[in-house]
Amino acid sequence: MSTKRILLIIGGGIAAYKCLDLIRRLREQGIAVRVVMTKAAQEFVTPLSVGALSNDRVFIDLFDLNDEREIGHIRLSREADLIVVAPATADLLAKMAGGHANDLATSVLLATDKPVLVAPAMNPRMWLNPATRRNTAQLKSDGIHFIGPATGEMAEANEAGPGRLVEVLELVAAIEAQLAAQRKPAAAVTSSLLAGRHVLITSGPTHEPIDPVRYIANRSSGKQGHAIAAAAARAGARVTLVSGPVSLADPVGVAVLHVETAAQMMDAVRESLPADIAVFTAAVADWRVAGSAPSKMKKARGAGPPKLDLVENDDILRAIASSRTSRPNLVIGFAAETDDVVGYARKKRKSKNADWIVANDVSPSTGIMGGDRNRVHLVTASGVEDWPEMAKDDVAERLIARAAQHLNRTWVET
C-alpha cells in the first residue's frame, strides 16, 4: 500500500471529526492522503488540524488563483488512486447524483476517472428519506461504491437508527480492499488463471456462546483469509468466503457468508460445495459450551466460577478433506503455532488428510497475530517451502498462484 494515494473529501457533518483519526490510520499504513474540505466541513474541523495530520496542503477553494492556473480541480481528480467521501452528507450525495459542480469537492467528483468510495453519515430520517434513497440508488448504478451507514445512536439526543458513519477501522479496511482490488496481480496470477473455477475460503474466528454476552473464541483478525479471497477473485475464480466475526470489509467481487459459530461455519461450508480449491484459514474454536445460558450468568459472592461443560466442535478441515463425495481437488489448511511450527504442521497435514498446510509462528513476539505481515511455511507431501516474510496480501497472491499452478498441472495430467 506504500505507493497508494487517497484523495479524501470531507463533508460537512458532525462525523467529520472522525476523519482526523482516519487520516492518521491511513498514513500508518503508508497510504498518502490529500484532503479536500467543503465549506461546511470547516465548521467542524479546521484545515490546520487536517493539514498537520495529512502532512500536505488542504484544498478548500475552487477558485484558488494558484491552483486553477494549472486547472487544479482536474489534477486533484486524477492524481489519486481512490477518492473517498467521508462523511458524505445528504446534500453532498444529492449534488453527486445530480452532477453538480459548484464547489471544489463536487467539481473534483464530476471530473474524476478514478474509483469513488462513499461513507454516508446523516440523521436517520434524512437517510431514509425517499430523495436520499433515490440519490443513493442512482450513484450505485453509476458505479459509486458505498460503505455504511451504520446503525446506532446519533449525536442528537433521542435520535437513533441508520445514519452513523461506519467505524474508522471498518472504513480503513474498505479503503484497503478497494486499493487491493486495483493492484496488478503478480506475474503468475492473471485474471484468467482460475476462470471458471470455484474457490471456497474460511476466515476469521468463531464465537461459541456461553451466555448472551460471553463467548469462547480463538484470536484471529481474518486479514490473511480475506486477502486470499481477494487474490482468488483477482485470478478470475468464483469465490465464496465463509467469514466469522471480523471488523474487515467484505472483499470486492467475493460472495461472503457471515457466520458466528463453528456449527454455522460447517453448515455454510457444506452448502457452498462443490469447490475446486478449499482454503481453511479460519481459527475455529475447538470447543463449545454444551448448553449456553439463555440469560446473562451472574456472579455470586463466594460461589466461585460456574462450571462449563464443554463439547468438541466438528473439525471442518478434516471433515471436508476426508469426504468421499464432495472433497475439493485441492484442500489447504492453516496451522498457527507457537513452537515447533513445521513439525506440528507436518503432523496436522496427515491427521487432517489435507493436501497442503500453511504454517506460521504466532508467538506474541512475531507480531503476526492481527498484523499486516506474515512469514509462512508451505508443507506439502513433497516437502516444506520456507517463504520469506512479506505482506499478507503478497502471501495471498503467492498462495493462489501456487495453487493454480498445481491444479492446472493436475488437470492436464488427468
| Position 207 pLDDT exceeds 90 | yes
| Alpha-carbon gap, residue 139 to 83, rounded angstroms | 14
260 and 151 in a single domain? The answer is no
Contact 203, 269 (CB under 8 A): no
pLDDT tens, residue by residue, 374-384? 889 999 998 99
Could you tell me how far CA 132 lies from the centroid of its own chain? 26
pLDDT at 183: 59
| DSSP secondary structure, 99-111, as one string | T--SSHHHHHHHH
- Provide, for the chain, the percentages of residues in helix, strand and coil under a 3-state DSSP scheme, each rounded to the nearest 5: 35, 25, 40
pLDDT at 304: 83
| Position 71 pLDDT exceeds 80 | no
In this structure, what CATH number is given to the domain that contains residue 259? Answer: 3.40.50.10300
pLDDT at 410: 56
pLDDT tens, residue by residue, 88-123? 999 999 999 999 988 899 998 998 888 999 999 998
Average pLDDT of span 41-52: 91
| Position 190 pLDDT exceeds 60 | no
pLDDT at 63: 67
171 and 279 in a single domain? The answer is no
pLDDT tens, residue by residue, 321-338? 999 999 999 999 999 888
Q: Is residue 316 part of a domain?
A: yes
61 and 134 in a single domain? The answer is yes
| Alpha-carbon gap, residue 49 to 65, rounded angstroms | 23
349 and 320 in a single domain? The answer is yes
145 and 283 in a single domain? The answer is no
Q: Is residue 181 part of a domain?
A: no
The residue out of 148, 176, 204 marking a domain boundary is: 176
Q: Is residue 215 part of a domain?
A: yes
308 and 259 in a single domain? The answer is yes
Residues with catalytic roles: 218
In this structure, what CATH number is given to the domain that contains residue 45? Answer: 3.40.50.1950
**DSSP-H helix ranges across 157-287:** 168-182, 223-234, 262-272
pLDDT at 306: 83
Residue 155 DSSP one-character state? S
Could you tell me how far CA 227 lies from the centroid of its own chain? 8
pLDDT tens, residue by residue, 170-188? 888 888 878 876 654 444 4
Of 362, 354, 411, the closest CA to residue 378 belongs to 354
122 and 245 in a single domain? The answer is no
Contact 369, 392 (CB under 8 A): no
pLDDT tens, residue by residue, 347-373? 999 999 999 999 988 877 666 666 778
239 and 124 in a single domain? The answer is no
pLDDT at 64: 58
The residue out of 149, 176, 203 marking a domain boundary is: 176
pLDDT at 188: 40
Q: Which residue has the cell 459548484?
A: 102
The residue out of 176, 208, 223 marking a domain boundary is: 176
pLDDT tens, residue by residue, 53-70? 998 888 888 765 455 444
The tally of domains found in the chain comes to 2
411: confidence class by pLDDT, cuts 50, 70, 90 = very low
- The amino acid present at 357, given as its one-letter code, is I
Q: What is the pTM (predicted TM-score) of this model?
A: 0.59
Q: Is residue 289 part of a domain?
A: yes
pLDDT at 152: 78
Q: Is residue 158 part of a domain?
A: yes
113 and 207 in a single domain? The answer is no
198 and 170 in a single domain? The answer is no
Rounded-to-10 torsion of CA 154, 155, 158, 160:
0
Mean pLDDT, the chain, rounded, equals 86
pLDDT at 186: 43
Q: Is residue 77 part of a domain?
A: yes
| Position 72 pLDDT exceeds 80 | no
Domain that includes residue 54, residue range: 5-176
Q: Is residue 391 part of a domain?
A: yes
236 and 360 in a single domain? The answer is yes
| Alpha-carbon gap, residue 206 to 215, rounded angstroms | 9
Residue 372 DSSP one-character state? S
CA atoms within 13 A on the CB side of 296: 5
111 and 12 in a single domain? The answer is yes
Q: Is residue 344 part of a domain?
A: yes
